[in-house]
Structure 1
Amino acid sequence: MSKKGRKRGQLAVMVVCAVVGFLLAAQLRSVKLSGAADATNAARLETLQSLYNELMDQKDGLEDQVKQLQSELSLYREQAASGEAGSEALKAEVDKLEITAGLTDVEGPGVTVILEDSTSSNVTGDEADYLIHDSDLLSVINELRSAGAEAISLNGERILATSEVRCTGAVVTVNGRRYAAPYIIFAIGDPDTLYNAMTMRNGVADVLGQWGITVKVTASDLLLIPKYNGTVDYQYAHSVTPGEEEGEG
């Protein structure tokens, strides 16, 4: 074999070795990356599982607290109905406080408001302009409150002064639970007043309708709004006892 032939053979062997080495290095790197990804996913899964367990423990604790409070409330109601002097007035006050605090199911006349995302053509370039947001729902709720609504629910969730209504991605969180459109609001109060407040010109329904968002308002003779399914824990606010204000400062 000539010198030129041997050189070509050696060059070919070197090229093959280089290619094999490159492939081995790439394979090792892929294995390392895959191992790192698996480790990262395992760590994330462990963290998510820990958070899930913690939330479930909190949920169980809150359910126990609700049961205890409901038991105490039943005891107070029994005492109020025992026939003692002033019991009727006390029972009426307890009933009123239950409704105000959202601790009991209520029914009565009112309106139903159904909101659905817009199906209009997107002319602004921003899809979010045609979706229902937490601010839209809060505008409807505030309008109903201003018109004298005595109890309000959103997709079955009783709305209290402490209820949160906020966007979380493509859905809305209400009382810690997530809901997607359509959003159905029940409001108990004078049907005519509530209906007129919602359908008045340049009102909240009219403004949302300009974006193609469907707002359907229907008066009803009887609506059922469920009680608040949770607890309200006050950490900072407390009642002021007589004479306490004078002692401050």
Structure 2
Amino acid sequence: MKIKWKRNKGELAVVVVCIIVGYLLAAQLRTVQLTGAADAASASRLETLQELYNEQSEQNEALEDQVKQLQSELSIYREQAASGEAGSEALRQELEQLEITAGRTDVEGPGVCIILEDSTQSNVTGNEADYLIHDSDLLSVVNELRSAGAEAISLNGERLLANSEIRCTGAVVTVNGRRYAAPYVIFAIGDKETLYNALTMRNGVVDVLGQWGITVKVTMNDLLLIPKYSGTVEYRYAHTVTGEEGNG
């Protein structure tokens, strides 16, 4: 009787071991299947991203070629305007004004330089974002400069056009499709005293930002250089109005 009990006990142990081993094998197989599926999904996503990257690169190359072609045509127009023909001086001046407005040429002149840095004050609100520079802060400065008559503005070297975006993307700010972190440096060409007074007046934008400890340094300069817009502007929906459309 005792021998039979030992035998049953041994068989039971073998059964238990087999069950445990089977469970472990099933778990391992499941893990392998999940890993394979994850690898396949990652490979598929990587392939998709690569295709998107290639497509974007081709589009950028096409736009760069278009810019070069337009710049070549613009050079021809400049030469024609400087050829001394009747009305060429007026045409040259108009072309120069249009280039400045469109941001298609480097410009220089007097103005102000503004440097903005994140606050170094102790966090008393519990929200770290309260002490960082946001897109709304930069837009406030830019709008104030435009209202004060700034003729050309750049942010961290990016020429700002009418359709330039300034928006937060995480802890940085995107300008003309490029990402920048603080400190932010703004150049504005115009009447330097008017621009300076517009920013530093009592309860003005510099005053408001200073309440959060954000450092804003404004200096007047006799000569600033603002580079031309390096991107492309494509109009897909807007077009000029012809005489017949205007009369209709």
Residue of structure 1 in register with 2:182 after alignment: 181
Residue of structure 2 in register with 1:32 after alignment: 33
Aligned identity (percent) is 78
C-alpha separation in 2, matches of 1:55 and 1:118: 37
Counting only pairs closer than 5 Å after superposition, residues 143-162 of structure 1 correspond to structure 2 as 143-162=144-163
Residue of structure 1 in register with 2:111 after alignment: 110
Counting only pairs closer than 5 Å after superposition, residues 123-162 of structure 1 correspond to structure 2 as 123-162=124-163
SS at match of 2:218: strand
Residue of structure 2 in register with 1:90 after alignment: 91
* Alpha-carbon shift at residue 85 of structure 1 (Å): 0.5
Counting only pairs closer than 5 Å after superposition, residues 26-65 of structure 1 correspond to structure 2 as 26-65=27-66
Q: What TM-score comes out, normalization by structure 1 length?
A: 0.95
* Alpha-carbon shift at residue 60 of structure 1 (Å): 0.4
The alignment of Structure 1 onto Structure 2 pairs a total of residues equal to: 247
* Alpha-carbon shift at residue 239 of structure 1 (Å): 2.3
SS at match of 1:115: strand
Q: Match of 1:235, as an amino acid? A: R
* Alpha-carbon shift at residue 169 of structure 1 (Å): 1.8
Q: Match of 1:229, as an amino acid? A: S
Per-residue CA deviations over 1:14-64 (Å, capped at 9, x if unaligned) read: 121111111111111111111011111101111111111111111101111
SS at match of 2:109: strand
RMSD: 1.3
Give structure 1 regions of 4+ aligned residues with deviation exceeding 3 angstroms. Answer: 241-244
C-alpha separation in 2, matches of 1:8 and 1:209: 81
Per-residue CA deviations over 1:213-247 (Å, capped at 9, x if unaligned) read: 1111111111100001122112222223445322x
Are 2:171 and 1:170 equivalent residues in the alignment? yes
C-alpha separation in 1, matches of 2:10 and 2:72: 92
Residue of structure 2 in register with 1:74 after alignment: 75
C-alpha separation in 1, matches of 2:59 and 2:176: 15
SS at match of 2:110: strand
C-alpha separation in 1, matches of 2:42 and 2:56: 21
Q: Show structure 2 runs of 5+ residues with no match.
A: none
* Alpha-carbon shift at residue 124 of structure 1 (Å): 2.0
C-alpha separation in 2, matches of 1:50 and 1:172: 27
Q: Show structure 1 runs of 5+ residues with no match.
A: none
Q: Match of 2:23, as an amino acid? A: F
Q: What TM-score comes out, normalization by structure 2 length?
A: 0.95
